[in-house]
Structure 1
Amino acid sequence: MVESTILLKIASVIAIGLIVSVAALTAGFGNSNAVARALEGIARQPEAKNSIFTTMLIGVGLIEATPIIALVVALLLLFANPFLQ
């Protein structure tokens, strides 16, 4: 019983690291892609800079919501793990 609890805690910590790192990595790629495309659009149409910039900020904010949600799920897995109770 004790060994299975310890094994489950170790698996939870590994899963937390995997969840948070993958979410941060994909958000970084998404943000860089969104900003690069916005800069290309601004370079092509400088008069639409304000509209493109506003849309880019909304998109980056939505992209950043993913790792925040993943962090919340990881913290729930760490502190309120239903498999350990």
Structure 2
Amino acid sequence: METGRALDAAAGRLSLERQLTVREDTSLFATHPPAGLRHRMLGARPWQDPAVTLTEARAARIDAELARHYERAGRALSWHA
């Protein structure tokens, strides 16, 4: 829900920001095209259903698998803060 509100709030300036990235972030030395060009490319493609979907059960298994890593990172951050 928060993501939807954030996108709604930013909708007016997103196209301007994408244009700006095309002008300012284009480089022969960049490893990826700027966000504005990637958005144009993806927007020009027809919709495809995703080949892989994340179910609630699978997300819970992934979270459980990563939980100890999250805890370790949290401890490291609090130790160094």
Pick the TM interval, shorter chain: under 0.3
- TM-score w.r.t. length of structure 2: 0.27
More helix by share: 1
Which has the bigger relative contact order, CA under 8 A and spacing at least 6?
1
